[in-house]
Structure 1
Amino acid sequence: MSTAIFNLFPNLEPFHHDTHYEDLFLNQHWVLVNGITNKKAVYVFKDENTLHIIENENTSETSWCIDVKNTFSIETEDGKTTVKAYFKDDDILVLNRTQTDDCAVFINEDRCSEILNTLEDVQQFLHDKYKEKAASLISDHEFYYIEKAEEFGPFTVAQLSEKVENKKISIFCFVRDVNEHNYNKRLRIRDLLREL
């Protein structure tokens, strides 16, 4: 896979048969994000190497198979193609055409609370998903803050919020993650509170 795709989708996990095949991959409604502005296409990978592609309520049947580890062969109307499969979380699948930067991104519609019909639906799903994830990570994490050239902490965001409410510290104090060594990111307490 090219480094460009890893930059676009950091932390991709290669498809692993034991982990992904039955619970996350098979019989799921994978909405193709590429081209959703023109038409919605849903891919359903079935057992016994059958692939259903649903477009505008028409279903075509074709084939797919696992060649080795996370490498698949897929037969479509455009011909046979070989792809490497990766997961970004449990509900985003990336199929990268081998030895190219071409990739198809899919979202598991079965795991969405809303139906994905448009690019705006996809954007809203991703926004909600990652905002919730970021808020969860931020609220559970600890930070140091600096005030009048003195460092304090570490504190959770809830503890920092309480200090701000009690006027013990300013909302404009710089903070740093416990894993960082300086305040170069120029992050303030108010920035953390906005994300919650």
Structure 2
Amino acid sequence: MNTYLHNTIPNLIPFDYALHHDSHFINQQWVLVNGISKKKAIYTFRDDNILEIRRKDATVKTSWTISIQNIFTIETEDGIINVKAYFKDDDILVLNHQDKDEFAMYINTSNYSEELNSIEDIQEYLRIKYKKKVNKIIHKHKFYYISKSKEFGPCTVKELKVKVDNEDISAYCFVRDVNEESYAKRLRVIDLLQEL
């Protein structure tokens, strides 16, 4: 992965044909994030190597192929380009141009009920998506907390909520994840409770 892409979007997972092709890639509706404020485009990669690019006024059909090295060749209106595919998440696809420091980012809207037509729509989509993800993580994790200069735990967020509701501890007690060694992040019980 080139440095430009890695520095711009960290923690990308390279496209893996066996893992991603059928379940995450083919026949999914990918909304192009780049330039959405000017013109919305939805890309659908079909299993017969047809790429449909749907815009408000028309649908264009072009072609795509993939090599053994997971390099995609895509025919666009500007000519043929070679890209490498990465996933930021199951529904965020990044196509990295192999000849330039450029990439295109897409959001899979196949399972999303709202329309993505603007930067604001994308921001709202990401806010909701990552809030759900944080909620799942928070519910599964356990935390230590400091109360009256002593450390207690580990407790789940639900257990901490009960302690706060019963006034056994303050909502402003500092907490740390069981995987962290210190309270350097200055996270408090109230910060966790806001995510419930």
| Interval containing the TM-score (normalised by the shorter chain) | over 0.9
Where do 1:16-165 residues align within 5 Å?
Answer: 16-98=16-98, 100-165=100-165
Indicate conservation of the 8 Å contact 1:43/1:51, yes or no: yes
In structure 1, the residue corresponding to 2:110 is in which secondary structure? Answer: helix
> How big is the shift at 1:88?
2.0
Q: Unpaired segments of 5 or more residues in structure 1?
A: none
Letter of the structure 1 residue corresponding to residue 163 of structure 2: K
Say which is worse superposed, 21-30 or 92-101, in terms of deviation.
Answer: 92-101
1:188 maps onto 2:181 in alignment: no
Residue-pair matches, total: 196
Letter of the structure 2 residue corresponding to residue 83 of structure 1: V
Indicate conservation of the 8 Å contact 2:83/2:95, yes or no: yes
Say which is worse superposed, 108-117 or 182-191, in terms of deviation.
Answer: 108-117
Alpha-carbon distance between aligned partners in 2 of 1:138 and 1:4, rounded to the nearest angstrom: 32
Go from structure 1 to structure 2 and tell me whether the alpha carbon gap of 1:176 and 1:7 turns closer, same or farther (over 3 Å shift): farther
Go from structure 1 to structure 2 and tell me whether the alpha carbon gap of 1:188 and 1:3 turns closer, same or farther (over 3 Å shift): farther
Say which is worse superposed, 182-191 or 55-64, in terms of deviation.
Answer: 55-64
Q: Deviations over 1:136-173 (max 9, x none)?
A: 10111100001222111100000011001101101111
TM-score in terms of structure 2 length:
0.94
> How big is the shift at 1:124?
1.0
Go from structure 1 to structure 2 and tell me whether the alpha carbon gap of 1:100 and 1:154 turns closer, same or farther (over 3 Å shift): farther
Indicate conservation of the 8 Å contact 1:91/1:111, yes or no: no
Alpha-carbon distance between aligned partners in 1 of 2:91 and 2:79, rounded to the nearest angstrom: 26
In structure 2, the residue corresponding to 1:116 is in which secondary structure? Answer: coil
1:167 maps onto 2:167 in alignment: yes
Indicate conservation of the 8 Å contact 1:83/1:95, yes or no: yes
Alpha-carbon distance between aligned partners in 2 of 1:138 and 1:101, rounded to the nearest angstrom: 36
Alpha-carbon distance between aligned partners in 2 of 1:127 and 1:76, rounded to the nearest angstrom: 31
Letter of the structure 1 residue corresponding to residue 132 of structure 2: E
State the percentage of identical aligned residues: 55
Runs of 4+ in 1 over 4 A off after TM superposition: none
Alpha-carbon distance between aligned partners in 1 of 2:81 and 2:10, rounded to the nearest angstrom: 24
TM-score in terms of structure 1 length:
0.94
